[in-house]
Amino acid sequence: MFVPFSEIPSNARVWIYSCSESLTDAQSVEIQKDIQLFVEEWLSHKREVKGSGALLGCRVICLAADEADVDVSGCSIDSSVRFIKTLEEKYGIHCFDRSLMVYQGDTENYQVIDFRKISSAVEAGELNENTPVFNLQASTAGQLNQPWIPLKESAYGRFLPVAK
């Protein structure tokens, strides 16, 4: 059962996928429709999952499940992964590249950089320890109420260059 993302409780589980490519407006509209269709049919142990999904900033796909009545595990999580893989195939995108950090840049809110390039980007002045980074490690919908955290407080903070 699909519900708007704004109506998902803060303790609902979320799965986050960052797209290596920025999606076009047309792709974004179609992907949001695909997300809604998937969630409307999402089952766990033959029971309807109360869930939602959203595409944020033409770059981040979030799926959410309210587990108050139905736990989402095993096969139901596998089905969500298969769904994301179908989006990759359908739209020619990549959503499983865990080397990408999503951050707010000067020109665009949702930019990506390979985490292995963070140190050189800081040294070049493109990023700094306070650059807002999307919290791709969020596990609940409540954590997405404020999805941007400073780079130094993120899981990527360890890639900041050491002060000399």
Could you give the angle at the alpha carbon of 132 between the alpha carbons of 91 and 124, nearest 5°?
A: 95
The side-by-side arrangement of strands in the sheet containing 100-103 is 111-114, 100-103, 132-134, 148-150
Q: How far apart are CA 39 and CA 60, in angstroms?
A: 17
Q: Is the pTM higher than 0.75? A: yes
Task: List, for residues 44-87, the tens digit of each pLDDT value.
Answer: 999 999 999 999 999 999 999 999 989 999 999 999 999 999 99
* H or E segment and range at residue 34: helix 25-41
> In DSSP terms, which residues pair with 102 in a beta bridge?
112
Contact between 52 and 7 under an 8 Å Cβ cutoff? The reply is yes
Other CB atoms within 10 Å distance of the CB of residue 46:
7
Q: 95-122 pLDDT, tens per residue?
A: 999 999 999 987 778 999 999 999 999 9
Tokens of 62: 């979030």
- Round to whole Å and give the CA distance between 85 and 89: 6
Convert the pLDDT of each residue in 6-43 to its tens digit.
Answer: 999 999 999 999 999 999 999 999 999 999 999 999 99
